[in-house]
Amino acid sequence: MEQWRYIVTEAMSPAMNMAVDEAILQLHSEGKVPPTVRFYTWDPATLSIGYFQKAIKEINLEEVQNRGLGFVRRATGGRAVLHDQELTYSVIVSEDHPKMPSSVTEAYKIISLGLLHGFQNLGLSAEMVSLASEEEKEKYNSPGSSACFDSPSWYELVVEGKKVAGSAQTRQKGVILQHGSILLDMDVDLLFSLLHFPSERVKQRMIDSFRQKAVTINEVSPRPISLQESIEAFSKGFASGLEVELISSTLTDEELALAEELVKTRYATDEWNLRR
């Protein structure tokens, strides 16, 4: 069975977390590191936004600061995610890997099998949303706030009909980077206090809609699930979903050095985080 690298990093700053994902991508593109599955957490808790979001228009940056939260723009698309009581994963693998279909949505499906197996390992009846039919699209349609968990995309995971993991993908230098957030618990009011709305009435409507469409592991699990148990369940899930053996490892010195450089030149800069 093919071996992939498996890394659990300690809680890192928002800039460093995004820089590490990009550093792995770059060095994998150069053939210096193998395909990698990584799990990580954030210090401090952080609001990340998608590559195409308009930070100043959509995000209440003053409130982010007042709450002592981190803030970073991802290299991937999608909407705002509060990285607080959750586990973040990333999968980095070449586009031309035999397991990876050329279609973005189909590659998404393959990687999301790891998530599906992870939820099943926790005893949850998760399913993958295909959005193929008009009925499915209507069922998961959303009025559209700036929050990521407002509605599922193709091949994202739902439990009891509600979105429980949000993922985003980018392709650079011939490499796929998919990362995403697996919700253990969530402070919905905190998340929505960080986003701009035209009025309080609209904000409340979005919150109500969000609660109907998103759910956390500990809201649907009959028993409390810890971060460590989640890491174990999803590492086994990615191994079985991708049909690979995950070999526990650490970041290389070159990856760490490149990540620190990317923090300084990109992910910790206002030019990157606020530029749109």
Question: Residue 189 CA to chain centroid, in angstroms?
Answer: 20
97: which residues sit within 8 A by CB, 6+ positions away?
35
Our answer to whether residue 232 is catalytic in this structure is no
Name the 3-class secondary structure at 245. strand
Tokens matching residue 213: 């469409």
Burial (0-12, 13-18, 19+ Cβ within 10 Å), 271: exposed
Q: Work out the angle at residue 16's Cα, subtended by the Cα atoms of residues 242 and 23, and round it to the nearest 5 degrees.
A: 55
Query: Of 27, 80, 148, 244, which is the active-site residue?
Result: 148
Residue 44, preceding peptide bond in cis (omega within 30° of 0) = yes
For residue 39, what is the DSSP state? E
Name the 3-class secondary structure at 100. coil
- Rg of the chain over Cα atoms, rounded to whole angstroms, equals 18
Write out the catalytic residue numbers. 148
